[in-house]
Structure 1
Amino acid sequence: MQQLHRAVGSPTGLVICTDACKGLEKAVGVVFPEVEYRECMRHIYSNFMKHYQENVFTDHLYPAARSYIEGLFRCGFSELSKCDYLTNNVSESFNAQIKKLKGLLLHELIDGIRELIMEKRYLRRQIGKDIQDCILPNVIKDLNTISKNLKVVKVARSDEGITEVTLIDDWNNHKRHMIDFVHEYYSIKRFRAAYASRVEPLPDRKRQQLKDDDSAGPSQIKKKKTTPKKKGAPKKKKKTPKKKKTPKKKKQQKKVAAQQLVL
């Protein structure tokens, strides 16, 4: 967590969502005391079902978590992050994509992640070019789903994106609301701006190393000191004369002659 804090800091609207691990909860509270902390609903559900096995929990637990009614799960989410995810499936999906890269060397792992991000950003840029509406399609789909059961009596426009909506409840009471349709965060303009820059492709490692060596310049490249060799004819080695070996018969004859002289 400390390494994560060094990398991203504590920007406004940062949300950290983890599994239901008590150690992580304490670590996030110590390192990120001002950050909004959430727990993955899927992990909470699996831990909850270890103790309670009735259908009343399986049928109503997730609907209660998806609700924005005061006192329920999403009601406590801050609006600064513009993210209402109940699970950490984004990180789970990322881990599944890099699963085949985890056995590689560190520099190969980082290069593989770079390629994934480069291709993903290119795909999102192409999607942003093709969309003609002002709002993201999935946001419009969610708005239509949420407002399906509303009993709308009248809609009066005030300005671009701002209207006055009159609703009727189950007791035939009229309620008027001033609605700002969609925050600018969910606009196509913001989506295109988020993926405008590209991840630059890289050459082969060997070519990159040669390029770095060439760009270093002659002054930065250290050369080994070598002593110059003197020119001239090569010196001849002196041959030492070898002693001649005397045969054994001659040695014996000399010994016999020396004995005869003594006698």
Structure 2
Amino acid sequence: MANFSKKFQGDVFGRMWPAARAYRPQVFNYHMNKILAEAPDVHEYLSRYHNLKWMRCMFDTSIKCDYIKNNLAESFNGWIKDYKDLPPDELADTLRELVMKLHEKRRKIGMKLKGKIIPAIIQQIHNRTRGLKHLKVGKSGVASCEVRDTSKYNLRHVVKIDQSECTCLEWQHTGKPCEHALAFLLDRRNPRWEDYVHDYFSLEKFRATYAGEIEPLTDRSQWPHVQFPFDMEAPLDKKRGVGRPRKNRYKSFLKGGDGGPKKKKEPKQLGSKNRCKRCHILGHRQSTCPLNGPKPRYM
């Protein structure tokens, strides 16, 4: 979106996010048709520079992942920000050590957790069960129903609990019950949410992810010495810039970076915000109020 907003600007291009987040192809096509009607060049631009699958509706439902942002890359860059200026060999060894410690920490967490599904996922489901009064459930059987959304033009979806499916396709993509399925399951007494979450979020899978150990290494002085047939020298044609090397990444276009919208500075407020409790005038406190008079002098 940062590169897209540099070339295409306007209110209609705000539909790119709803199009990318849509689970159903019909919703994606609805928003994209609005965008293409405004600017036909968008199709050529996306086909040339973004020909990969960036919309949820095209994801494979077997991967149980619907991330469409690069938060993982940004988190990793922030994690290694203080080590980017190290030499390549020290950088690789430092990253190996960080990952080794992280795996051990996650391995200990996995051994302490109890239950079938990761507790954080169960907490997410509990949070989503609130505020579902706008969904009206019409049961057709023990494990199937139709759910009408009164807040979105009475849209209706079909839920099949025994197949872990909903026509909104969110359940199939994420592996976690959507709000339509939760509205149906809330009618049951003490539903076991673990039975309706995919094994992708199970403790067994979590522990298996961090079961392998990363081999520890000795310090650099004990590494084997290798004789290279040539000497690697620093490039001479590239001059180092003046000042301290930059560690923080450049801001994107949408966050006020190069050519992006600048954040307006709020005008500075003159004077104090304190209000006197005696005269109720801004600018001073009760202890310094002029109505107090001269302070008594103690001998």
Scaled by the length of structure 1, the TM-score of the pair is 0.49
Greater RCO (Cα-Cα under 8 Å, separation 6 or more):
2
In proportion to residue count, which structure has more strand? 1
Give the structure with higher Rg (CA): 1
Q: TM-score, normalised by structure 2?
A: 0.44
